Structure 1
Amino acid sequence: MHATRSALARLVIPAAVAVLATLGAVPTTAAAVSQNAAEVCEDICVDGVRAAAHSGYDRVVFDLGAGPLPAVEATYGASPWYMTPGGEPKEILTRGSSYLFLSFKKTEAGDFSQTNPHVESFNLPTAKATQLLFTTGSILGFSPATDFGITLDGPVSRYNVFTLTQPNRVVVDIYR
């Protein structure tokens, strides 16, 4: 009888372990699929930001998803204050000598908030940080927009904002 139980255990235990391992893998696989699902934005998503120093200028690049490129409005000034869509004045968190405010029209932050910090610091000669200021949805007939602030330090002679494709991105060159 003991030999029969031992033989049965050698057959049943590995099969039970395999079945339980398979059952345990199902939720993990489903979770992985949901995490890899493509983000959905009405027009185009802002996916990330990066920056680098070049000879004579700093470059800040906002990576975008697929879709039509946004129109970008830029405002340069010495004050760190900006107005929220609700009319509330707020201040950029990172201090500098000047600031560049960008509004990307017909964009959404997508998963930017989950994959990037709201304030991204850079150790560059002029560009010190970017900050996600706010996003607006398409409510009351308004198009969605995503607004950023770039903290600058030191002399700025001019800046240039333009879009590129393959991959889609907004580029900001800040000249010293």
Structure 2
Amino acid sequence: MQTKRRVLAGIVAPATAIVLAAIGAAPTASATPSQATAETCEDICVNGVRAATHTGYDRVVFDLGAGPLPTIETGYGTSPGYMTPGGEPREMLTRGSSYLSVSLKNAENGTYSATTPHVKLFNLPTVKANQLLYTTGSILGYSPEIAFGLTLDGPVSRYNVFTLTQPNRVVVDVYR
């Protein structure tokens, strides 16, 4: 009888250890995701903004994800005011001598808001700040849009906006 118990204990004890080890190694829910979630934008995502100064101009670059390049609309003026898509008047938070709005049609907020503050100060010779003005989704058949305002200070002779690929980006050169 003791031999049977020893044999049974020799089988049960290792099996119990294996089961307990498996339970301890089982995946558990975590408060932090182990992998970054993939961005999901209908057309193209705006993931960041950066700026630098060069001889005679300042450059602002909007980093984009994969997809078709957006349609770009710009506006230049001396008033800090702008209108939201709902027709509500607002003003830029950072003051300057002029302002440049850059609207990216068929583009959405990708990881931009997670990686960049609402207002990003640059303090370059001409470009002082970038502000996220608004974003829209696809509403009632309208395409998504994300709009930015650039606060400028000092003389601006002209500006040039263009796109580049590999990687996708929108470039704004503001000439002094």
State the distance in 2 between where 1:77 and 1:67 align.
31
| 2:8 matched residue in structure 1 | none
User: Which structure 2 segments of 5+ residues have no match?
Assistant: 1-15
| 2:119 matched residue in structure 1 | 119
| 1:66 matched residue in structure 2 | 66
Instruction: For 2:72, give the aligned amino acid.
Output: V
1:1-176 matches, within 5 Å, as: 20=24, 22-23=25-26, 26-28=28-30, 31-33=33-35, 36-176=36-176
Q: What is the TM-score when the length of structure 1 is the normalising length? A: 0.84
Instruction: For 1:99, give the aligned amino acid.
Output: Y
| 2:6 matched residue in structure 1 | none
Larger Rg: 2
Q: What is the TM-score when the length of structure 2 is the normalising length? A: 0.84
CA change 1:132–1:30 in 2 (3 A) is: closer
CA drift at 1:111: 2.4
The farther-off stretch of 114-123 and 53-62 is 114-123
- Runs of 4+ with >6 A deviation: 15-18
User: Which structure 1 segments of 5+ residues have no match?
Assistant: 1-11
SS in 1 for 2:48: strand
Instruction: For 2:174, give the aligned amino acid.
Output: I
SS in 2 for 1:31: coil
CA drift at 1:175: 0.3
CA change 1:121–1:17 in 2 (3 A) is: farther
- CA offset digits 1:13-63 (Å, max 9, x no partner): 9x978964x34x643498212xx1211000000000000000000000000
Q: CA RMSD in A?
A: 2.1
Higher helix share: 1
